[in-house]
Structure 1
Amino acid sequence: MKVVNGPGGGSFLVWTLLVQLVLCGSGVYTTDHTKSCILLSESDSERKVLNRLEPLAHKNFTAETTIGTESYTYVFQLCGDAGGVPGAGVIQYDSKKTETKPKVIGRYNATQAFGGSDWVLLIYTSGDTYGERCSKEARKAMIMISCDKKAGLGQMKVELEDRQRLQDCFYLLELDSSVMCEVPESHISAGSIILIIAFCLLAIYLIGGFLYQRLIVGAKGMEQFPNYAFWVEVGNMSADGCDFVCRSQNREDARAYRGVATEPLEEEPEERDDHLLPM
């Protein structure tokens, strides 16, 4: 990489680092962490289920349980090394003997994934073998991840450790997370979109015009309103039109509704036309 020397080289490098940090923080640089999980039988359906869990990847989730006098702590990580143990998806260690080596309950290189609308069942197999129980088979962890809008990223607890069988023993963990909750789709009509756009344009016009009139033109009072003279003229013309169409106070009353005068009318002099007759 070419190093930029000179007075502007340092500032250029700083700006480059800042841009990269912003891009990383905004999620432009994304990594599909769930690809670290290796499925026992690769399929598109199971891979899609794992992709839904992407926000939970590479995060440790812990839970504690007590069985009689024994106390254990479980650590689960999606497609990552749980508790820093290479290859382990779920580990178990004695809470009272933290210096002992943790047991691997399941590995993420042997994964199965099944899901519904608001739940996913994740299975890690190929864990450490049992000592004398369960026919000395490999341990298996089942993690039920369910929707809980109030749980945040995730809260894990141990539901069951079934090790009394001859075969198919398993550990059942439950993780409640808001990640599994479906986000309702928002349906906005075309009319609503038009109204939103019109409101935004009106707000830009008013705010931008007000700032221009006040800061650039130096207007005061009502004159700060953008195109004040034009809108005043439009208002006056609208008022005149409304007055012409709706008001009728200056119109003459119809003759049929004129009142009869209370004073007697003066008698008009009788006109004689005798002078028109031939003599």
Structure 2
Amino acid sequence: MKVSMSPPHTATSVRLLVLAVQLVLLVCGSQARDDTKRCKLFSESPAERKVLGLLEPLTNKTFSVETTSDKERYTYQFQVCGDVGKTVGAGLVQIGHTEKKVETVLGLYTVTQAIGGSDWVMLIYSNGTTYNGHCSKEMRKAIVMISCNRGVEMGKLEVVLEERERDRDCFYLFELDSSAVCPALPSQLSAGSIILIIGFVLLSVYLICGFLYQRLIVGAKGLQQFPNYVFWTEVGNLAADGCNVVCRTQGPEEEPPTYRGVSTEPEEEPEERDDHLLPM
């Protein structure tokens, strides 16, 4: 008679699988890049660095837009903490559509400010090319307003205005929509639901891995393919015995006959009195 015992290595196999998954996640996490660190803040602060971290999904992508005004055409190029155009460190440039294609730096990402709100981020690049005859010949500055839009991962860059009709603090203003700056939605799952989901996933992994091990390696057939079949059978038997002890009685109880008008207490027999036999 062939007896198939549950393999002692099933639990070990499950542990090894879990450890392998954790190792892969750890390696992937260590290799994750933080390209926003290439931005040099005008005044380093943890709060601004945290705001910059929200823009990580937008890095390594060049956003461009073309405008036409007064018979002049310009192309604007922008990157989050990355180079655009020919100037190293330029985060936003203006390229004129002329024979010389003059490139004007509107701001450097090496001089950055990041201001964040509940659903928006204002990115400011400073120390661009100096004005020739406007704004007291100060350096150009570009402001990119990135607003929350859950339906758009990376929207289109739009030019809002160029403010140069003042003596100081002139700027270029741009807009960009992205879901990267949207606040996190509150979880719809309760703690109990999350625990149940995790338990279901672990149980599924246990059953699938144990079944494959029993069938492919041990060569079990029928119910013996179930992982740790003997153990779970014993658990089921013990549970049935416990239910039998707790939920079942030893025998039928005799129904008290009081409702039929018959008392259950023994009746006392009348006393025999021999007073009449005594002599007077």
TM interval, short-chain normalised: 0.5 to 0.7
Matched to 2:163, the amino acid is D
Within 5 A, what are the aligned runs for 1:133-144?
Answer: 133-144=134-145
Q: Count matched residues.
A: 236
Query: 1:26: which partner in 2?
Result: 28
Q: Deviations over 1:147-196 (max 9, x none)?
A: 22222134311111223334433211112122212334658766445534
Q: Are 2:135 and 1:131 aligned?
A: no
Q: Are 2:54 and 1:65 aligned?
A: no
Change in CA separation of 1:222 and 1:150 when aligned onto 2, cut-off 3 Å: same
- 8 Å CA contact 1:146, 1:177 repeated in 2: yes
Q: Deviations over 1:89-111 (max 9, x none)?
A: 211112x3264221111223333
Query: Higher RCO, 1 or 2 (CA under 8 Å, sep at least 6)?
Result: 2
Query: 1:225: which partner in 2?
Result: 226
- 8 Å CA contact 2:129, 2:139 repeated in 1: yes
Query: 1:77: which partner in 2?
Result: 79
Change in CA separation of 1:188 and 1:138 when aligned onto 2, cut-off 3 Å: same
Query: 1:206: which partner in 2?
Result: 207
Query: 2:93: which partner in 1?
Result: 91
Partner residue of 1:47 out of 29, 42, 49: 49
Change in CA separation of 1:98 and 1:154 when aligned onto 2, cut-off 3 Å: farther
In structure 2, C-alpha distance between the alignment counterparts of 1:85 and 1:237, rounded to whole Å:
78
- Radius of gyration: which is bigger? 1
Within 5 A, what are the aligned runs for 1:85-124?
Answer: 85-94=87-96, 96-97=97-98, 99-124=100-125
Matched to 2:94, the amino acid is Q
Change in CA separation of 1:106 and 1:217 when aligned onto 2, cut-off 3 Å: closer
- 8 Å CA contact 2:159, 2:174 repeated in 1: yes
**SS at 1:26 equivalent:** helix
In structure 2, C-alpha distance between the alignment counterparts of 1:57 and 1:195, rounded to whole Å:
37
**SS at 2:30 equivalent:** coil
Which consecutive residues of structure 1, in runs of 5 or more, have no partner in the other structure?
1-21, 257-279
Change in CA separation of 1:210 and 1:255 when aligned onto 2, cut-off 3 Å: same
In structure 2, C-alpha distance between the alignment counterparts of 1:246 and 1:47, rounded to whole Å:
64
Matched to 1:125, the amino acid is S
In structure 2, C-alpha distance between the alignment counterparts of 1:92 and 1:238, rounded to whole Å:
77
In structure 1, C-alpha distance between the alignment counterparts of 2:152 and 2:139, rounded to whole Å:
32
**SS at 2:153 equivalent:** coil
- 8 Å CA contact 1:108, 1:124 repeated in 2: yes
Query: 1:270: which partner in 2?
Result: none
- 8 Å CA contact 1:37, 1:79 repeated in 2: yes
Q: How much does 1:60 deviate?
A: 1.9
Q: How much does 1:144 deviate?
A: 0.8
- 8 Å CA contact 1:60, 1:83 repeated in 2: no
In structure 2, C-alpha distance between the alignment counterparts of 1:67 and 1:179, rounded to whole Å:
32
Q: How much does 1:229 deviate?
A: 6.1
In structure 2, C-alpha distance between the alignment counterparts of 1:109 and 1:255, rounded to whole Å:
96
Q: Are 2:172 and 1:171 aligned?
A: yes
Q: Output the TM-score relative to the length of structure 2.
A: 0.64
In structure 1, C-alpha distance between the alignment counterparts of 2:187 and 2:247, rounded to whole Å:
45
- 8 Å CA contact 1:122, 1:143 repeated in 2: yes
Q: Are 2:158 and 1:153 aligned?
A: no
Change in CA separation of 1:84 and 1:149 when aligned onto 2, cut-off 3 Å: farther
Q: How much does 1:230 deviate?
A: 6.3
Change in CA separation of 1:225 and 1:67 when aligned onto 2, cut-off 3 Å: same
Identity between Structure 1 and Structure 2 (%): 57
Which consecutive residues of structure 2, in runs of 5 or more, have no partner in the other structure?
1-23, 258-280
Matched to 1:82, the amino acid is V
Q: Deviations over 1:211-255 (max 9, x none)?
A: 34433454433443345566567667767887898789x969859
Q: Output the TM-score relative to the length of structure 1.
A: 0.64
Matched to 1:142, the amino acid is I
Query: 1:181: which partner in 2?
Result: 182
